[in-house]
Amino acid sequence: MPENELEPEVHEHEHRHHHRKKSKLKSVLYSVMAFFLSFVLFLLSICIVLRFTLLSKNYMLGIMDNKGYYSMVRNELQSRLTDLVHASGFDEEFAVSFANGYDVKNAVENYIDSFYSKNTTLVDTTEFKQQLHVAVEEYAKQKNIQIDSETENNIIYFVNEAASIYVDQISVPFFSTIGKYIDTLYSAVNITTGVLIAMTFGISAVIFFTNRYKHRRFRYLCYGLTGATLATFVIPLIVSVSDKITKVNINTRSLYNLFVGYFTNFFMYFYICAGILAILSLTSFLAYRVYYQKTTSH
């Protein structure tokens, strides 16, 4: 066969080889973009969970309501005040009456509100001391106890000791640790969320508008969404399997129930995000199948 007749076949072979090589390179690039999309969506899920749980006052107060936290704190406060009352020579009914009459729920809500209003992470004992001091003086009058300077000093000592108990009951130790960082974290999460949303749309747009075939667009979007779904789902799954939350060692029943309820619901939000991502992933997969069948049928 003459040499000039072989040239078209050689050129055609080189063209096919170049096309396959270019196609493989594009496949690798889009796979890398799909990986980055899944990573960005995973980080975005974390930011969203933080925004609606740790950084939300309503989330904390909602957990306290659902777990009966206020009544447990009131009972524990009453029990500890009763011990102090016995040591101080008061009747037990005094501690029961005062603990039941004091608005524990309002005190806890004010304490939690202080974290999110950029004020302080300390428990305010002013109102508690004032009300307790008045209650002690009224009790002394009912029992015909003469209030002299020595008695007044004893009352002040009793009120201060009771205030220490009050601080222990109202404060939330694990929350107090992060309370001072909430404002900074809130701003950082909001900015990060905005950046991640922009990156999500940017990467998705590149994948969608630079692919000639529609089925390939949805295929790589499906890759990214599936990866994000699995990554987001793994976090609560590991926590559930390890069972670390329920085994935490906390002294009081109120704080234990609050801790377990708080973090159990916290990780449930990851399941919710994973579920939303899974729906989007399934939608992308179905779109991929539809357009793939249309392409192959032609």
pLDDT tens digits along 176-213:
777 777 878 888 999 999 999 999 999 999 998 888 77
Is the per-residue pLDDT at 63 higher than 50?
A: yes
Categorize the per-residue pLDDT at 153 as very low, low, confident or very high, splitting at 50, 70 and 90.
confident
Tell if the pTM clears 0.85, that is, is over it: no
**CA–CA distance, 149 with 252 (Å, rounded to integer):** 37
- pLDDT at position 66, please? 93
From residue 248, alpha-carbon distances to 237, 242, 258, 259 in Å are: 18, 12, 12, 9
86-104 confidence digits (pLDDT tens)? 877 778 888 888 888 889 9
Q: Name which residue leads in pLDDT, 296 or 6.
A: 296
Residue that is written with structure tokens 């905005």 in the block: 194
Tell me the pLDDT tens digit for each residue of 240-251: 888 778 777 787
Mean pLDDT of the chain: 85
What is the pLDDT confidence band of residue 11, given thresholds at 50, 70 and 90? Answer: very low
Q: Round to the nearest angstrom and report the end-to-end CA distance of the chain.
A: 36
HSE, side-chain direction, 13 A CA sphere, residue 292: 11
Residue 26 CB-density burial (10 A; 0-12 exposed, 13-18 middle, 19+ buried) = middle
* pLDDT of the residue at 225: 96
Q: Which one has a higher pLDDT value, 120 or 145?
A: 145
Does residue 119 surpass a pLDDT of 80? Answer: no
Residue 298 has pLDDT above 70, yes or no: no
CA distance 77 to 59: 24
